[in-house]
Chains A and B, each alone.
Chain A
Amino acid sequence: MSIDSREASWSTRGTVIVDGVTLDVVPGSTVGLLGPNGSGKSSLLRLLAGLRPTSSGVVRLGGDPISSLSRRDIARRLAFVEQESTTDADPTVRDVIGLGRLPHRAPWSPESANDRAMIASAATTMRTGHLLDRSYMTLSGGERQRVQIARALAQEPTELLLDEPTNHLDVRHQLELLELVRATPTTTLMALHDLNHAATYCDRLVVLAAGRVHAAGVPAEVLTPSLIAEVYGVEAVVEDTAGGLHVRYLRALPSSAAEPAGRMTP
């Protein structure tokens, strides 16, 4: 087993954000995490990455409770890419991808030849090889996101967790990025907003609403007009075309229909 959780919950300041989530991620699969704003996708990803302790329930990595593993052991097999990675420092792209090698060596030791080879290969995989000597600050949003994923790949992870990796990217960059991610052999769990992307690039989908799993399964089972209406408050038709599943949005439903599913965010 790759990552799994049993009744995992997380609350902060008295508000339950993630509410009893049970899920199993099959090794080697690409899983899409869907849900409206505030449904708990980012928080669930952080629980699964071991960055927050569960309030109740358990998250396991390779069958071991993640709370029993050291941060370093987790970092050697699980890599996490945040929605937006900002810095005040001015690192080069090589510096940034090089961060991914930190879990594999002592903090005082220099980069080994193997480290450098891993950095180069991760950069090539994410098509950032030509950017290595550029300043991270000068990159476009799409380039930054690819560099961050290259950093994650340099960790040599078996599990890759991505929080809305296509955020702020134009259509071409979104597709390019998802294709690159899809091509990596790692088990991937990513939060996504675009239902068509989820249908095209994911083996399985997990839909969150108000911190709970509302539906889970293969895209054709999960993405139904009724689910989209219940969870997103949107009337849609789902067409099974030659190119795969296609969701066409018709209109936003009156807000009363949307409220039961979505947690109110302040």
Chain B
Amino acid sequence: MTRLGTLGTAALLPVALVVLAVSIAVGTTIGPSDLGPSDAFAVFLERIGGPDSGLSGVREGIIWDLRLPRAVLAAVCGAGLALCGVVLQSLLRNPLADPFVLGVSSGASTGAVLVVVTGLGAGAIGLATGAFLGSMLAFGLVLLLGFVTGGTTDRMILAGVAATQLFSALTSFIVYTAADAEQTRGVLFWLLGSLSTASWSDVVVCGSVVLLGVAVCWATAGTLDAFTFGQDAAASLGVSVAKVRLMLLIMTALMTAVIVSTSGAIGFVGLVLPHAARAIVGVRHRLLVPTATVLGAIFLVWVEIGSRVVIAPQELPVGVATALVGVPAFVLILLRQRRRQS
């Protein structure tokens, strides 16, 4: 077991935040235009009140309005997905739970496809709004199904699986019957997860929801610990199980929905990063929540950078890149668990 000492854990978060800032900075220096670290730095200085960068408006814009929001959004999404993973794995007591276990991502897909392919909403609502509505509808269905069938955590997971299947089928049906090749390609690209359209307004929306989520989850850290041995154990440790669980489920669904709506279904971050964070700092959420959040942010920033570099000038969808990194990591986790149980 790799666990840090007291000194290590105290230094971990500040160090990780510096690494995150550096990672985002690196993200702004990479791309098809030949704008390097010094250009990025000059633009950054100008924007915070320093001297003129000497770059043209277009080139400034590439750094400030394309690359930077993209890197920051990657950090925000990575943070939010990892955090949701931590909360859901603890709450549902299932190491394989991820942010999409409650059907949120497949609901988002259906919503997005409906808007893009069938023109639902007659242009009044965009892909992101459609995705958000779809994900909330799916989550509502899961909650309803879960509670009707007994309200236990395994019922929630089963309800999530059912909703995921249902909405995936609906998405396939709509794409199969209504989409032309071009639309299909666009939808597919979005479904696989992409940060290429990131804007500052995406950053603001996602960022505020994720910040709220971090605050809520960190404030309930002890409560999340109480779920270690299940619901009755949590209740006997003074937790109002039904209330807390509903609040945290809604919080994670909201975070996931906002993230999926802006950047598609980026898989594996929420599944793998919580396990990595636990391996470093242990199971107590007071430390685990911030650690997983920052690790998730760093991870996705680098995967996003990698996805632009690997097959340049083409881009790999981020969801594909996370899966390529995540699947081997996932196998390692499973092997580790098997070793421990045998």
- A interface, CB within 8 angstroms of B: 46, 49, 51, 70-76, 78-80, 82, 85-92, 95-96, 98-100, 102-103, 105-110, 135, 137-138, 155
Select which of A51, A79, A85, A90 is within 8 A of B235 by beta carbon: A51
Interface segment among B49-57, B187-195, B236-244: the answer is B236-244
Interface residues of chain B: helix, strand, loop or mixed (majority):
helix
Q: How far is the CA of A108 from the CA of B214 in the complex (A)?
A: 12
Is the pair B282, A92 in contact by a Cβ cutoff of 8 Å? yes
Is the pair A85, B233 in contact by a Cβ cutoff of 8 Å? yes
| Residue of B219, B220, B239 with highest tally of chain A CB at under 10 A | B239
Q: Tally of A-B residue pairs with Cβ under 8 A?
A: 97
Q: How far is the CA of A103 from the CA of B90 in the complex (A)?
A: 19
Q: How far is the CA of A89 from the CA of B228 in the complex (A)?
A: 7
Is the pair B238, A74 in contact by a Cβ cutoff of 8 Å? yes
Residue B95 interfacial (CB < 8 Å):
yes
Q: Which residue of B lies closest to A100 (CB)?
A: B237
Q: Can you identify 12 A-B contacts, CB atoms within 8 angstroms?
A: A72-B238, A74-B236, A75-B237, A87-B228, A87-B230, A89-B90, A98-B225, A99-B225, A100-B237, A110-B286, A135-B1, A155-B237
Is the pair B278, A103 in contact by a Cβ cutoff of 8 Å? no
Q: In the complex, what's the smallest C-beta–C-beta distance from A50 to chain B, in angstroms?
A: 8
Q: How far is the CA of A162 from the CA of B312 in the complex (A)?
A: 63
Q: Which residue of A lies closest to B240 (CB)?
A: A71
Q: In the complex, what's the smallest C-beta–C-beta distance from B309 to chain A, in angstroms?
A: 35
- B interface, CB within 8 angstroms of A: 1, 3, 89-90, 93-95, 218-223, 225-226, 228-230, 232-233, 235-240, 278, 282-284, 286, 340
Q: Which residue of B lies closest to A92 (CB)?
A: B282
The 5 closest A-B pairs by CB, nearest first: A75-B238, A107-B222, A72-B238, A103-B238, A80-B236
Select which of B90, B219, B284 is within 8 A of A95 by beta carbon: B284
Is the pair A85, B229 in contact by a Cβ cutoff of 8 Å? yes
Q: In the complex, what's the smallest C-beta–C-beta distance from A119 to chain B, in angstroms?
A: 13
Q: In the complex, what's the smallest C-beta–C-beta distance from A257 to chain B, in angstroms?
A: 35
Q: In the complex, what's the smallest C-beta–C-beta distance from B339 to chain A, in angstroms?
A: 11
Residues of A within 8 A of B223 (CB): 102, 107
Residues of A within 8 A of B226 (CB): 99, 102
Q: Which residue of B lies closest to A108 (CB)?
A: B219
Beyond A92-B3, A102-B237, 7 additional contacts (C-beta under 8 Å) are A46-B232, A73-B238, A85-B229, A86-B230, A95-B228, A95-B283, A96-B228
Select which of A91, A98, A107 is within 8 A of B220 by beta carbon: A107
Q: Which residue of A lies closest to B232 (CB)?
A: A51
Is the pair A91, B286 in contact by a Cβ cutoff of 8 Å? no
Q: In the complex, what's the smallest C-beta–C-beta distance from A45 to chain B, in angstroms?
A: 10
Q: In the complex, what's the smallest C-beta–C-beta distance from B279 to chain A, in angstroms?
A: 9
| Residue of B3, B218, B236, B282 with highest tally of chain A CB at under 10 A | B236
Residues of A within 8 A of B225 (CB): 95, 98-99, 102
Residues of A within 8 A of B282 (CB): 91-92, 95
Residues of A within 8 A of B232 (CB): 46, 51, 80, 82
Select which of A51, A82, A88, A100 is within 8 A of B95 by beta carbon: A88
Given the known A-B contacts A82-B233, A92-B282, A137-B340, are A107 and B228 also in contact in the complex, defined by CB atoms under 8 Å?
A: no
Residues of A within 8 A of B284 (CB): 95, 98
| Residue of B1, B3, B89, B94 with highest tally of chain A CB at under 10 A | B1
Q: How far is the CA of A53 from the CA of B3 in the complex (A)?
A: 41
Q: In the complex, what's the smallest C-beta–C-beta distance from B88 to chain A, in angstroms?
A: 12
Is the pair B340, A90 in contact by a Cβ cutoff of 8 Å? yes
Is the pair B221, A107 in contact by a Cβ cutoff of 8 Å? yes
Is the pair A49, B229 in contact by a Cβ cutoff of 8 Å? no
Q: How far is the CA of A108 from the CA of B221 in the complex (A)?
A: 6
Q: How far is the CA of A115 from the CA of B283 in the complex (A)?
A: 18
Q: Which residue of A lies closest to B229 (CB)?
A: A85
Is the pair B229, A87 in contact by a Cβ cutoff of 8 Å? yes
Residues of B within 8 A of A102 (CB): 222-223, 225-226, 237-239
